[in-house]
Amino acid sequence: MTMAIILGDHQYGKAENRIVRIVRDTARHTIADVNVSTCLRGDFDAAHLTGDQGAVLPTDTQKQTAYAYAKTIGLESIEAYALALATHFVDDVEPVREARVEVERYDWTRVDADGTGAGHDHTWVRSGQEVRTASVTVSGTADARRTWVTGGLKDLVILKSTGSEFHGFLEDEFTVLEPTHDRVMATALNAKWRFDGTEVDWNATYAAIKHALTSTFATQHSLALQQTLYAMGTAVLESVPAVVEVRLSAPNKHHFEYDLGRFGIENHGEVFHADDRPYGLIQASAIRDDAPDAGPAWTPYTGLV
Ligand SMILES: O=c1[nH]c(=O)c2[nH]c(=O)[nH]c2[nH]1
């Protein structure tokens, strides 16, 4: 019996171009600090089957293009930049049938050098909060163009010191967990959302989505992280019409009340041990029932976004 082996799925590109773009048209500079990955999909069979590089746009060229577009398109919004870059690869590089650009953006905050709160013109400190993410996938030629945009945030560490319960859960012979009616709830939120269309004010929408996520975490009295996550996803869909799907992943960063009774000290939910592992990992999504097909919107390249 002979066995046939065929080439399976393949994609290639330059991962994690660390690009910093300063805008210095006036004395008050701006900074955009990003991590850009580009990925090409198409008929690159020959490169794998025979080593023929005729159809292969080198990953080095993809890198150069990513830097050039940081100047010509700019990085005012990572979604608009990724749209331009992905569209270029599909439109201008013949063998490319589909391109995906993934971007992480790290935040910087102006130094309050004079104490007025206005912030220094050209000095920042790296902000420790979340990493903003985006992916753009562009498919097909201009007459049959399809485009998918996702946004997201990673590692948004958020904690509420009350307003969270967990009880009434299923019990078996291994259950030792005590029910609680008042606990700390904390997570390092990872969120991704899918847009319908590209006519979006990307930066204002990002702020609105982050507000919907964090304000719901704050105000919704929680009976479980699962309930909170679904409420957060629903809040995004209700407040941002351009978003059709939200995917959330949240480690339950357990805070265990520390036993001070051994020292004759009453604790009353004020001193905790913040455990780092293991952690419950809760994942949930919310989607509009009329959401268009996700196509390759979630098909990853680096796995970073
Ligand atoms: O919000 C929670 N969801 C769970 O599924 C779970 N399981 C657990 O032990 N603690 C919690 N908390």
**Most informative mutation of 159, 180, 217, 282 for ligand 1 (most atoms within 8 A of CB):** 282
- Is there a contact between 130 and 153 (Cβ–Cβ < 8 Å)? yes
What local confidence, expressed as pLDDT, does residue 236 receive? 98
- Distance of CA 225 from the midpoint of ligand 1 (Å): 7
| Ligand 1 closest atom vs CA 185 | 1
- Distance of CA 193 from the midpoint of ligand 1 (Å): 24
- Residues with CB under 6 Å of ligand 1 are 166, 177, 224-226, 252, 280
- Spans in the chain with pLDDT lower than 70: none
Residue 100 DSSP code: E
Q: 280-287 and 30-42 as β-strands: parallel, antiparallel, unpaired?
A: unpaired
Sign of CA dihedral 238, 242, 247, 248: negative
What local confidence, expressed as pLDDT, does residue 232 receive? 98
What local confidence, expressed as pLDDT, does residue 142 receive? 83
Catalytic pick among 63, 160, 253, 254: 254
**Most informative mutation of 167, 169, 283 for ligand 1 (most atoms within 8 A of CB):** 169
Nearest CA to ligand 1 atom 12: 224
Short-list 244, 254, 257, 260, CA closest to 280: 254
- Distance of CA 166 from the midpoint of ligand 1 (Å): 7
What local confidence, expressed as pLDDT, does residue 143 receive? 87
What local confidence, expressed as pLDDT, does residue 128 receive? 76
- Distance of CA 219 from the midpoint of ligand 1 (Å): 19
> 14 catalytic, yes or no?
yes
Nearest CA to ligand 1 atom 7: 280
- Distance of CA 61 from the midpoint of ligand 1 (Å): 48
> 29 catalytic, yes or no?
no
Q: Indicate the pTM of the whole model.
A: 0.96
For the chain, which domains are there? Answer: 11-144 (3.10.270.10), 152-305 (3.10.270.10)
CB neighbours of residue 165 within 10 Å: 17
What local confidence, expressed as pLDDT, does residue 290 receive? 97
| Ligand 1 closest atom vs CA 225 | 1
Question: Letter for the amino acid at 135?
Answer: S
Short-list 178, 181, 256, CA closest to 224: 181
> 59 catalytic, yes or no?
yes
- List the alpha helices (DSSP H) in the chain: 45-49, 59-72, 78-92, 202-219, 225-239
